[in-house]
Amino acid sequence: MHALLYHSSYRRCLARIACSRCHGSHLSFKRQFSRSAFLNGHSAHNPEPIAPSLKGKSCIITGASRGIGAEIARRFAKEGVECILVGRNEKSLYGIKDELIVGDEMEHRVVVGDVGDMDFWKGMKKEVYQKKVHILVNAAGVTHYSPLFITSPSLLEEVLRTNLMGTMMACRTVGKNMMASRGGCIINVASLLGMKGGKGSAAYAASKAGVIGLTRALAAELGEKNVRVNVIVPGYVETDMTEGMSSDARSEAINAIPLKRFGQPSEIAHAAVFLAANTYANNCVLNLDGGLSAI
C-alpha cells in the first residue's frame, strides 16, 4: 500500500515538473516569437517593410476613362503615384485626369488609343521607354452578352481583341521595360465570369479566362526578373456595365451574393493598391465577389 502511494506521489511530482518546464519553454517561445521579424512586419533577410510606399512611382492604367480603371487611377494618385491614363474616350480621360490629386513632381498624362490595336502599342513604346514604368494596370474591357451561336464573328473578335489581346500586348510592351529595369508590377483585371461562366457570355468569359491564364504564365516567366504579375477577379461591381441590368436581374444577382450587395469600384481599387505595394504578391488570383464564387 505504502509503495503504491509513494509511486502515485512520485508520478504526480514528475507531472508537475514536466508541466513547469513546458510552461517555461512556452513563455520563452512566446517571447522569442513576439520579437520575431514576422510579427513586426519585416523579413528575416530584409529589414525593409513588406508594403513600402507607392509615392513617386509611375503607372499606366488602361480603361481609365470610366468604372474600375478610373477609380484605380483616383486611388493611386492619392497614394502619390503618377498616372498615365489610357483609353479611347479622350473627353472622359481628361475629365478623370482633372480629378486626380497632383503632388510634387507629379504629372498625370493622357494617351488616347485602342488597346486592341497592335499599332497603338508600337506607338506606346516611346511613352513607356521615355520614363520608367513601375506599375501596369490592365482594366480596359468590352462586354457583349448573347448566345455564341447568334453572335457575329466580328463581335467575337472585338471582345477577344480588346479584353485578351489588348492585355497581352500591354504586358508584352510594358513588361519588356520592367524586365530591363529588373522590377515592376502588373495588375490585370479579369471577371468572375472567367471562372464560373454564364449564359450568353461565351466570348466575354473566354476572354477573361484567358486573362487569368495569362497572369499565371507571366507570374512564372517574369518572377525571376523581379516583375510581379497578379489578377483581380471582380464579381458584380457598381459600374456602367451593371447599371444596364433590369431590376429583376439585379435583384436575382444580389440575392445570390452572400454579402447581399454589389461591390464598389473603390473596393477594387483598394485591392490594386495592396497588390502594387506588397512586394511578395505574385501569381495572386484575388476574388472580390462578395462570396459569389463560393456558391
**Of the candidates 62, 291, 65, 269, which has an alpha carbon nearest to the alpha carbon of residue 192?**
291
State the angle between helix axes of 153-160 and 202-222 in degrees (0 to 180), rounded to the nearest 10. 30
**Lookup result for grid cell 494617351:** 111
Contact between 219 and 229 (Cβ < 8 Å): yes
Cell numbers representing residue 120 in the block? 497603338
How many helices and strands in the chain, by DSSP H and E? 11, 7
* Domain that includes residue 187, residue range: 58-294
User: What total number of domains does the chain contain?
Assistant: 1
Angle made by CA atoms 46, 77, 230, in degrees to the nearest 5: 55
Alpha carbon 97 to chain centroid distance? Answer: 22
How far is the C-alpha of 280 from the C-alpha of 272, rounded, in Å?
14
Q: Which of 145, 204, 236, 280 is catalytic?
A: 204
Q: How confident is the model at residue 12 (pLDDT cuts 50, 70, 90)?
A: low
Q: At a CB cut-off of 8 Å and minimum separation 6, what does 269 contact?
A: 68, 71, 72, 74, 75, 76
CATH code of the domain containing 136: 3.40.50.720
pLDDT of 46 over the 70 cut = no
pTM of structure: 0.82
Helix spans in the chain (H):
2-34, 67-78, 90-99, 118-130, 153-160, 166-180, 193-196, 202-222, 240-243, 247-256, 265-277
- Reduce the DSSP state of residue 257 to 3 states and report it: coil
**Does 136 fall in a domain?**
yes
| pLDDT at residue 245 in the model | 86
**Lookup result for grid cell 497614394:** 79
Contact between 139 and 186 (Cβ < 8 Å): no
pLDDT of 145 over the 90 cut = no
Q: How confident is the model at residue 31 (pLDDT cuts 50, 70, 90)?
A: very low
**Does 46 fall in a domain?**
no
Cell numbers representing residue 283 in the block? 501569381
Task: Report which of residues 48 and 101 the model is more confident about.
Answer: 101
**Does 193 fall in a domain?**
yes
Q: What is the mean pLDDT of the chain?
A: 86
**Does 140 fall in a domain?**
yes
pLDDT tens figures, 214-257: 999 999 999 999 999 999 999 999 998 888 888 998 999 999 99
Mean pLDDT check: name the lowest of 64-78, 82-96, 127-141, 197-211: 127-141
**Does 263 fall in a domain?**
yes
- Reduce the DSSP state of residue 294 to 3 states and report it: helix
**Does 44 fall in a domain?**
no
Contact between 251 and 24 (Cβ < 8 Å): no
**Does 36 fall in a domain?**
no
| pLDDT at residue 52 in the model | 67
- Residue 145 is among the residues annotated as catalytic for this protein: no
**Does 117 fall in a domain?**
yes
Cβ neighbours of 5 (radius 10 Å): 9
Q: How confident is the model at residue 14 (pLDDT cuts 50, 70, 90)?
A: very low
